[in-house]
Structure 1
Amino acid sequence: MAVTELFSKLKDILPEIHMEIKNSSNHQLGNAGQVIVYPKSEEEISEILKYANDTEKKIFIEGGGTKKGFGGEIETADILLSLAEYKGIIEHAVGDMTLAVKSGTTFNEIQNYLADYNQMIPLDPTWPQYATIGGIIAANESGPKRLGYGSARDAVIGLKVVYPNGMVIRTGGKVVKNVAGYDMNKLFIGSMGTLGAISEVTVKLKPLAKYESVIFLSFPEGNLEEIRTFAVSLLDSMMEPVALELLSPSLSERLTGQKQYTLVISFEDVESSVHYQEEFVKHIQPKNTRITIHQQKEAKDFWATFYTIAPKGESGSETEAALKIGVVNLDVLKVIKECDVLQDIHNLLIEAHGGLGHGLCQVNLKGADEDILAAIHQLREYVKSLGGYVIVKHLPYSLRQKISVWDEKPSYFFLLEGIKTKVDPKRTLNHKRFVGGI
């Protein structure tokens, strides 16, 4: 079916829905659509999916577009379902500290709304001014503050999901104490939109911290054993850092002006508690290290900058890649060190950071295509030797044809394949976007 014919057919069936034809089929990152539709209600989302499923059209889902380069073996679908106009607060139970919100609402819009009630969603995604809550949940995204906040699986208590056949289901509930049966939320969190379009997200909230600070602890001598010893002492103490993130020298230079391994230690609490924990860090500070502390506004400004260092999901003049690496907590030290070595070997700019309390690393690479692919292969082999994994979170479409975004199929792949076949037998939704080409 020609694009104009598909557009006309959709307009006849769904005349009230905003839609357009865009020359986006050759987007550098892929995951584009011939016809873009912008539903404003859950009913419209259901109608679009049902039409695509009935006519065996392929459909991609997009929120703010920040994850356009994440996965996907197909360059262009018939329909791109954009949730950019599907946003807003559905229900806010202030006393119960829960919030139900439409999935196309950007993270910053939600946090700004909640700030008036001294509440927040305990998540810290990249590009929060563009990333939508639905996309964050679908990709199971989290940042350095995962140490103190937890992940999306900890925050989400309920979802509404539109299946490819148009049926709407609800998982979980609207209250925190909801323990009956299997937690269906976990089935959709991190599934990359391959099982259904998330239309509503219910999360539990936490109070806004009354005070916060960020400590930068720099290690001029680059002694990884010294960093390890300090991290163990802090993690084994009664202190409660929200983040304990190690920056590679290249990333530290960009963020702090110091080209050396730097620990970013974040505290959030009442002011007296934050200062007490700062003093504890000073007390166990290793010799020949340097401490800088940012309080309140400076701390917020630092994190605002930090969350924009990853690729945004746009095409650029220089090839970029982003990796998510999971290892045993303190093996993060080895991963960040290996990234520093690979930077010189492959003539790349590699900016890496990882959480010494949760074991997740983010690695951003810039440079020539072949150098990036070679570095990813080498880093993947190294991480495998540590018993970890590497997922490619951002890469141009042409390069995704040359490398496995998700690496080898896991031993439980047959379960994922079985669920996909049951829920979406026609492979209508986000086809080949997830593990093993699901």
Structure 2
Amino acid sequence: MEAKHLIDGIQPNQGPIYPEDINELSSALSDIAEPGKVVVPVGGATRLQIGAKMPHYDYALDLSNMNHLVAHNSADLTCIVQSGITLHSLQNQLREQEQFLAVDAAFPGKATIGGTLASNAPGYLRWQLAHMRDMVIGMQVVLPSGTVTKSGGPVVKNVSGYDMARLHVGGYGTLGVISEISFKLTPLPRRQGSLLVGFQSENELQNFSGEVFDSYVMPLALTGMNEHLIKTLQIDAPRCQYLMVIRIGGRQMAFDRQINILNKMVDQYQHSNTDFLEQNPSDRLWKKIRDFRGYGSSSSITGRVFSTPTRLRSLLRDIVNFFEEIGSTLAISIQPGFGTMEFYIDSLPAEDKTRSTQVIEQIHNIARQNQSHINYEKLPSDLKNGFNMWGQINEGSLGIMRSLRGTYDPGKKLNRGRYLTDKEGS
């Protein structure tokens, strides 16, 4: 039994299954016909901690052997891959043709394409290159019954009808098992680097990000962080309370023009300071930012908030103020262009579980008051029992999601109990 199949201390009762191809995957799912059996699709196991605690599960459907680049049409900037290929392996093969897939996720040496899509993994290559679901142009999915379905295709074109692949991006493997994906690709930028801009207040950070958004600058990635995350990541930015990291890429003239625009914008902030990193140190910094998924202690908490760029300002202020009131600290990373925020808590100043639950509930309330939605990506195991890790969902949306679950997997064979569609009374 592999350690990576351990989920919240639970191993699969019947053990793992390792399909080698689509036929074996289809047969494995169709052969598990006994009512009540639970199957968990597994890729690199970098995000299996997300979701409610399952009472048990029977089979780990490990797709790590389905790990091939099936086709790569470099002239059309498209490729087809099996879902078990790791991000690192795929990017290395695409780099030979000076191309890359604009999808990034933590621990790319382990994280698989299928798991990254299914869990809607956070990444930073979104400001210019859009959400990772926008990179998908086709998908093959095996339903819980073993039926193989396809949508889209291997070419970039406009088609009529619903884009069914989008249902499975962020579906956490509850509607089917992603087996093969067609992607559109992006040429590698000729020149890359990052500009680091330090500020003394979150208001300056937010104002500057708004100016970048309204300018002619098109960053590959942009993130802001508070001093606690700066210290945790050991970034050399000693004279600032908040830091913005802006990744720029393109041809030399376009690259220089964007850096010049940014420097002129920074000059308007009296107490700001800047640093520029060439590609190699820039890549190392972004790797450090990307791979930090929270603190390592058993009591640590990681949350992810989905808001809008305009609401993010008050959301950030309210959460920071709340933690100051309770005498605790948290590390924060924001993507202002998308209105998303991640927060990382090493431990809470709590006397007991009740106190911890109250703090988490107040974070829920702050998100709700700012018309935002929160997911907890990491919680202590004892807090997972009976706790809604997925935040508040309006009844209309939840009804649609449950209807889809009932249509695709009426027996709840896949990931039963982990996702919000299986939570009673939510």
Identify the residue that residue 309 of structure 1 maps to in structure 2: 292
- Within the alignment, does 1:230 sit opposite 2:208 as a pair? yes
Matched, 1:383 2:367: yes
3-state SS of paired residue (1:57): coil
Question: Please, which of 167, 172, 183 is the counterpart of residue 152 of structure 2?
Answer: 172
Would you say the 8 A contact 1:140–1:151 is kept in 2?
A: no
Amino acid at match of 1:61: P
8 Å CA contact 2:306–2:341 kept in 1: the answer is yes
Offset, 1:349: 5.1
CA gap 1:124/1:412 in 2 versus in 1, 3 angstroms: same
**Shift of residue 75, structure 1, vs aligned partner:** 4.0
Matches within 5 A, 1:255-294: 255=233, 256-257=235-236, 258=238, 260-285=241-266, 286-294=269-277
Judging changes above 3 Å, is the alpha-carbon distance between structure 1 residues 99 and 23 closer, same or farther for their aligned structure 2 residues? Answer: closer
CA deviation after TM superposition for structure 1 residue 294, in Å? 0.7
Say which of 188, 195, 198 aligns to 1:215: 195
Quick check: 1:63–1:82 contact (8 Å CA) kept in 2? Answer: yes
Determine the structure 2 residue equivalent to 1:10: none
Q: Per the alignment, in what secondary structure is the counterpart of residue 425 of structure 1?
A: coil
Q: Name the counterpart of 2:90.
A: 110
Report SS of the residue matched to 2:128.
Answer: helix
Candidates 206, 219, 228, aligned match of 1:241:
219
Identify unmatched segments of 5+ residues in structure 1: 1-20
Greater mean deviation of Cα atoms: 368-377 or 207-216: 368-377
- 1:3 is aligned to none
The TM-score with structure 2 as length reference comes to 0.90
The worse-fitting range, judged by mean Cα deviation, of 156-165 and 269-278 is: 269-278
Aligned mates of 1:104, 1:349 — CA distance in 2: 38
How many Å separate the matches in 2 of 1:73 and 1:404?
A: 10
Gap change, CA 1:235 and 1:24, over 3 Å in 2: closer
| Partners of 2:405 and 2:421 within 8 A in 1 | no
SS of alignment partner, residue 407 of structure 1: coil
Q: Secondary structure at the match of 1:187?
A: helix
Q: Aligned with 1:287: secondary structure?
A: coil
SS in 2 for 1:412: helix
Summarize the Cα distance change of 1:166–1:33 in structure 2 as closer, same or farther, 3 Å threshold: same
Q: What code does the residue aligned with 1:105 have? A: I
The 1:82–1:39 alpha-carbon spacing in structure 2 relative to 1, beyond 3 Å, is same
Q: CA RMSD in A?
A: 2.3
* Residue pair 1:28, 1:397 contacting (<8 A) in 2 also: no
One-letter amino acid of the structure 2 residue matched with residue 288 of structure 1: H
Preserved CA contact (<8 Å) 1:60 1:430: yes
Output aligned runs, 1:27-426, within 5 Å: 27=6, 29=8, 32-34=11-13, 35-54=15-34, 56-220=36-200, 222=201, 224-255=202-233, 256-257=235-236, 258=238, 260-285=241-266, 286-311=269-294, 317-345=297-325, 350-368=330-348, 370=353, 373-410=357-394, 411-426=396-411
Q: Distance in 2 between matches of 1:395 and 1:45?
A: 32
| Post-superposition CA distance 1:270-321 (Å, at most 9, x none) | 1232222112111111111000111111111111111111049xxx553222
Q: 1:51–1:234: structure 2 CA closer, same or farther, 3 Å change rule?
A: same
User: Which digits, 9 at most, give the CA deviation of each residue in 1:223-251, with x for residues without a partner?
Assistant: x3333332222211111122231101111
| Paired amino acid for 1:278 | I
CA distance change for structure 1 residues 289 and 42 in 2, over 3 Å: closer, same or farther? same
* Distance in 2 separating the partners of 1:227 and 1:253: 17
In 2, distance between residues paired with 1:174 and 1:120? 16
CA distance in 1, matches of 2:262, 2:4: 51
Contact 1:248 1:337 in 2 (8 A): no
Superposition deviation, residue 101 in structure 1: 0.6
Contact 1:124 1:146 in 2 (8 A): no
Matched to 1:134, the amino acid is: G
Name the residue aligned to 1:8.
Answer: none
Which amino acid in the other structure matches residue 385 of structure 1?
A: Q
Q: Per-residue deviation at 1:367?
A: 1.3
Kindly provide the amino acid, as one letter, of the partner of residue 299 in structure 2.
T
Q: Distance in 2 between matches of 1:186 and 1:24?
A: 27
Quick one: distance in 1 between partners of 2:81 and 2:7?
31
Deviation at 1:127, TM superposition (A): 1.8
Change beyond 3 A, Cα 1:28–1:64: closer
- Tell me if the contact between 1:137 and 1:189 (Cα under 8 Å) persists in the aligned partners: yes
TM-aligned CA deviation for residue 345 of structure 1: 4.8
Letter in 2 for 1:413: L
Structure 2, unaligned stretches of length 5 or more? none
- Measure, in 2, the Cα distance between the counterparts of 1:252 and 1:376: 23
| Aligned partners of 2:194 and 2:245 also within 8 Å | yes
The percent identity for this pair of structures is 25
Letter of the 1:302 counterpart: L
Q: TM-score, normalised by structure 1?
A: 0.88
> Using a 3 Å threshold, how does the CA distance of structure 1 residues 243 and 332 change in structure 2: closer, same or farther?
farther
Contact persistence 1:409–1:436 (CA under 8 A): no
Q: How many residues align?
A: 412
